[in-house]
Amino acid sequence: MSFAEFLHQVGGMGRFQIIHTMLLTIPIVLMASHNLLQNFTAAIPGHHCQVHINANNTRYANATLHLGSQDLLQVTIPMDRNRQPEKCRRFVTAQWQLLDPNVTEPNGTQLDTEPCTEGWTYDRSVFTSTIITEWDLVCNLRKFRQMAQSIYMAGVLLGALVLGGLSDRFGRKAMLIWSFLQLAVMGTCTAFSPSYISYCVFRFLGGMALSGFGLSIACLIVEWIPTQFRTITIAITGFIYTLGQILLAGLAYGIPNWRWLQLTVSLPFFFFLIYSWWFAESARWLVLAGKADRAVKVLQRVARVNGKREEGEKITTEILNSKMQKELSMVKSSYTVLDLVRTPAIRRIFCCLSVVWFSTSFSYYGLAMDLQNFGVSIYVIQLIFGAVDFPAKVLVTISMSYIGRRITLSAFLFLAGLVIIANIFVPRELQIVRTSLAVIGKGCLSATFNCVFLFTTELYPTPIRQTGLGFGSTMARVGGIVAPLAKMLDEYFSFLPPIVYGAAPIISGIAATFLPETLNQPLPDTVEEVESRSRMKRGEDTKEKIPLQNQEKVLLRETC
């Protein structure tokens, strides 16, 4: 008797599963807000050097009182090649001759200029305050903007490694509660950061917590849901994340101050922390962790909520242990990351999924964190990027349910890569076409996240499911860290970033074809179960080939 049968006995997809899943998915709304927050809190507004008038006589000094803002900029700030004020340099002295319409304006580089030694003037019509305007992260310091996002992603990476492993050791619920607390505190501290360094430290710790609760939520949802409902449940979870992206556009538009925006998306986690005590620990994990007594109590509680009290009362510790004796006998006392590469089938799964997780995140954040370069309102493009996920995720859900996980994953990765590379051949003047292709690519990558999340939880057995999911998330965060660095290739050749962002999902689409299919398969509870399925599959393939081999031998003998 497998655990799935116990799950069916206590109600299957009953009232408990619906309430439990709903409460677990609410925090996912704000997961998108934290991941993409720097599109707005670190937005770069229009800026130029502080205007500096160093007049040599009283006539020029008095003239400045009657100059308009445009005239003042003309005599103090050189123009770039696009006839816009230079962002990082100004004239050493005011160039009054430039106000004379009969004077040919010389190139700014022919006149004496100097860096912005007295600071910058920012356009605050869209963003009243960002970390850029507060700490002047422009010009020579502009790389600190990307560094802050990479530091946050490094925190998410470490959280996947550390909290993912701890969840397999101490339980999903315990790590979920801790992650809520850590994110609530660190997110609030970020909003009150006195300096750039403290901001990065708090964001790093907040990223760790976000990774922890994301992984714990995924396992708690999947391990309480019957096999036939897993696909639609994960799809709904993906839609909730998409809703969070759309919500972020509205919040950012209504709260243009970065500190208040940061606080707004962080305080709700104190509320999530309060009701997280109601969650049920994964009974599947409790059984395999040798805590059958607690597993029985949890299953009986679920049975009561689902209106199956009598069926729940029939489950005892002895019955649970005896019915799952085979699974328990195959479970080691402890598991580590090394178990992801110790056996051949798990090792192949680990390698292929690592490539898929990395490339999906790498290309996704390469597009999603570059909103200001699309030439339209950052709020509109955020809204469009969020809205495209709905049809993409509906399509991927249907495909996963009827075609299978493996083909769906490969197809969406291939399509994403081809669309991104196609942008190389579209002229920059066709901004709408370029934006449309980027939106399609982003939609495909978002759908891929839905697929690979479900696929990963179905491929790994229960004792190392969280560890495997955590390492997959780790590879995704590595991709998120590297993505901004790939954008810097634009300084050398403009076509390099699209090639890199497009090639990655195509390569991972090939890797995904080597994964076993899991459509309508029960969750594996042991490593041996995964290896056994792999051997059976290879055995079927061998049996199919034997008749052909026999025919060749017969033909060879007849020829001789």
- Interatomic CA distance for residues 404 and 204, integer angstroms: 37
Q: Give 477-494 as a DSSP string.
A: HHHHHHHHHHHGGGGT-T
Helix (H, G, I), strand (E, B) or coil at 331: coil
- Interatomic CA distance for residues 191 and 261, integer angstroms: 8
Under 8 Å between Cβ of 465 and 168 = yes
Radius of gyration, CA atoms only, the chain: 29
Mode of pairing for the β-strands spanning 120-122 and 47-49: antiparallel
- Interatomic CA distance for residues 266 and 206, integer angstroms: 10
- Interatomic CA distance for residues 35 and 250, integer angstroms: 16
Going along the chain from its start, the domains and CATH numbers come out as 3-44+133-512 (1.20.1250.20), 47-122 (no CATH)
Question: How many Cα atoms sit within 13 Å of 221 on the Cβ side?
Answer: 28
Is the Cα torsion angle 14, 280, 161, 363 positive or negative in sign?
A: positive
Q: What is the pLDDT along the chain (560 residues), one digit of tens a residue?
A: 466 777 777 777 888 888 888 888 888 888 888 888 888 888 888 877 877 665 444 444 444 444 556 667 766 777 776 677 777 877 777 666 666 665 555 544 456 777 777 778 888 888 888 898 889 888 888 778 878 888 888 888 888 778 767 777 788 888 888 989 999 999 999 999 999 999 999 999 998 888 888 878 877 887 788 877 877 787 788 788 888 888 888 898 889 899 999 999 999 999 999 888 888 888 777 877 777 788 888 888 888 888 888 887 777 777 777 766 665 565 555 566 677 878 888 889 999 999 999 999 888 888 776 665 666 677 887 788 778 878 888 888 888 888 888 999 999 999 999 988 887 787 777 778 878 888 888 888 888 888 888 888 888 887 777 678 778 877 887 888 888 777 766 666 667 777 888 888 999 999 999 988 888 787 787 888 888 877 777 665 544 444 444 444 433 443 33
Six token digits for residue 334: 């402890």
Six token digits for residue 475: 């590879």
Q: Which residues of 366-376 are buried (b: 16+ CB within 10 A; e: fewer)?
A: bbbbbbeebee
Q: Roughly how many angstroms between the first and final C-alpha of the chain, as a whole number?
A: 55
The whole model's pTM is what? 0.71
Burial of 348 (0-12, 13-18, 19+ CB in 10 A): middle
Backbone dihedral angles phi then psi of residue 91, each to the nearest 5 degrees: -70, 140
- Interatomic CA distance for residues 428 and 437, integer angstroms: 12
- Interatomic CA distance for residues 446 and 442, integer angstroms: 6
Six token digits for residue 307: 């209106």
- Interatomic CA distance for residues 494 and 473, integer angstroms: 30
* 318, 324, 330, 334: CA torsion to nearest 10: -60
- Interatomic CA distance for residues 531 and 537, integer angstroms: 10
Residues contacting residue 290 through CB under 8 Å, at least 6 positions apart: 328
